Structure 1
Amino acid sequence: MERIKEQRLASAGTFCPNEECQLHAQVDEGNIIKFGKSKQGVQRYRCKSCATTFSATRGTLFYRKHAALKDILETLALLAEGVRISSLARAKGFKEDTILRWLREAARHADAVEEALMGDYEVSKAQVDGLWAYVGNKGKKGATRNARIEESSGA
């Protein structure tokens, strides 16, 4: 009887991202150890097999960013709410080009997540749309955009 292997999304520090490593992309093989933290406090890892070091943010929107994760997320959330890039640049102190780059990278990562969900996990387009609606409503069941606007306006 063929054994079916459970598929799941791997988290940082559970596999080696080095394509030349003999244990590349093999999850939970015991070859990855914690290896200190970066100047920004991001966890670093080291592969015992190939000696490659990498950070927890590698392959994410936050990789090699000098701005705080909180600032990036807050800026992207405000963009999603309809705040203009020029207004955010003035208020947050980031260049418009920087904010646009974050937005483009976030879109690429969203496309990659959607592709993984629809491809590897056989999730329908409607289910992915539902997931993004859930994420957009911060996980509150039955929440709508109008309800959030009324709450924030004090009505």
Structure 2
Amino acid sequence: MYGIAGKGNVVGNGTYNTKSGRVQKYICRRCGRVFCSRTNTAFYDLRTEEEKILLALKLVLKGMSLRGIAEVLEVKPETISRWLSRAAEQSEEINKKLLKDLNVSKVELDELWTIVKKRAAGTKRR
């Protein structure tokens, strides 16, 4: 029952406030571990609003420099770099789980994303 959702072993255990709003806390009845809805995400233990971090990541994807993003969002370039690293680590974890469950190689997954990006770019031009 460890790590399996919907088995009744995890229950709500209050909330706490952040700049982004309330965060739900949970406790596992089985092992007593306390965690929150941000645990194992790129937002865990960050004090910045989630929207600001997501905007920074979108701007990186659009090709804006880290220094430029930092200037616009009024944070240090190192902060943007740290957010980007966290997001990359989280993406890698998701890829690992996808590859395990789907029995797809990393090369095949990269090829799939290339196709998806080409199709998405084609629909934007129309």
Structure 1 counterpart of 2:13: 35
Structure 1 counterpart of 2:3: 25
Q: Which consecutive aligned stretches of 4+ in structure 1 deviate over 3 angstroms post-superposition?
A: 131-134
Structure 2 counterpart of 1:65: 46
Separation in structure 1 between the aligned mates of residue 123 and residue 31 of structure 2, nearest angstrom: 52
**Bigger strand share:** 2
Decide which structure has the larger Cα Rg and report it: 1
Calculate the TM-score normalised by the size of structure 2: 0.81
Aligned CA distance change for structure 1 residues 44 and 132 (closer, same or farther; 3 Å): farther
Q: Please give the secondary structure, in 2, of the residue aligned with 1:59.
A: coil
Q: Which runs of 5+ in 1 are unaligned?
A: 1-22
Q: How does 1:72-151 map to 2 (within 5 A)?
A: 72-124=53-105, 125-131=107-113, 134=116, 142-144=119-121, 147=124
Deviation at 1:60, TM superposition (A): 0.8
Calculate the TM-score normalised by the size of structure 1: 0.67
Using the aligned pairs only, state the percent identity: 26
> RCO higher in 1 or 2 (8 Å CA, sep ≥ 6)?
2
Count, aligned residues: 122
Q: Please give the secondary structure, in 1, of the residue aligned with 2:38.
A: coil
Q: Which runs of 5+ in 2 are unaligned?
A: none
Deviation at 1:75, TM superposition (A): 0.3
Separation in structure 2 between the aligned mates of residue 123 and residue 133 of structure 1, nearest angstrom: 15
Q: How does 1:45-60 map to 2 (within 5 A)?
A: 45-60=26-41
